[in-house]
Amino acid sequence: MCRLVGTDPAALASHRRIRHEVFVEEQRIFDDSDGDGRDDDPATVRVLATVQGEPAGTVRCYQLGGGTWQGDRLAVRRRFRRAGVAVALVEAAVAAAAAGGGDEMVACVQVTNVRFFEGLGWRRRGDPVPYADGRPHQVMVRALTPSGPGGGPPPIRRDRGRPARSPSRP
Ligand SMILES: CC(C)(COP(=O)(O)OP(=O)(O)OC[C@H]1O[C@@H](n2cnc3c(N)ncnc32)[C@H](O)[C@@H]1OP(=O)(O)O)[C@@H](O)C(=O)NCCC(=O)NCCS
């Protein structure tokens, strides 16, 4: 369900379209575009999730320096939410960062999503800080190796305990 976008133009277009749909049109965090310099960097890793062949969600990650990687732009299209797509995307990004040699992953998440990340083994670092649109965001961290600087246990997978629901339609 999740794959790396690489240089496939169609997958790349889906990645950008979903981000625009969620961060510009839905959440209005950005006025025109949520793109930045990381999008021009060929080292940036992008993950695309599909459900029954349809692009459903996306995330990207990149190395900040040393063993620290950052994940951001986690977005799932509305009609595919609550079906486990974001969990799969976060796990794919974590796996990509670990494969890239990372020992710690950070993410600056909307405070409404802190519990979601905590459920996946991430921990809060510091207090919430204002983001681009002024909304408070929380830095979260997760160790990619048992002895990584994020501390604590190795990455955990939440046992969802049930099959994913079918995506709802608008
Ligand atoms: C946040 C978002 C990525 C979640 O995507 P999703 O595919 O619906 O999430 P999942 O289905 O993988 O969620 C898995 C579980 O986490 C729960 N969950 C989802 N969002 C949550 C949240 N904000 N807080 C707490 N739990 C949450 C789900 O209820 C589900 O629990 P369940 O298995 O007990 O039902 C999606 O709602 C979205 O794109 N929102 C707008 C953009 C955004 O906020 N991006 C994140 C920026 S930090």
* CATH number, domain with residue 22: 3.40.630.30
Structural domain span for residue 103: 2-143
Q: Residue 61 — very low, low, confident or very high, per pLDDT cuts 50/70/90?
A: very high
Buried b (16+ CB within 10 A) or exposed e, 36-55: eeebeeeeebbbbbbbeeeb
In this structure, is residue 159 part of a structural domain? Answer: no
Tokens 């979903």 belong to residue: 18
Kindly state the tokens that stand for 81: 């939410």
**Neighbouring residues of 28: CB distance < 8 A, sequence distance ≥ 6:** 133
Give 79-107 pLDDT, tens digit per residue: 999 999 999 999 999 999 999 999 999 99
The pTM score is 0.89
In this structure, is residue 38 part of a structural domain? Answer: yes
> CB of 76 closer than 6 A to ligand 1?
yes
Q: Are 7 and 14 in contact (CB under 8 A)?
A: no
Atom 1 (ligand 1) nearest CA: 113
How far, in Å, is the centroid of ligand 1 from the Cα of 113? 7
Give 29-46 pLDDT, tens digit per residue: 999 999 999 999 999 999
Q: What is the number of structural domains in the chain?
A: 1
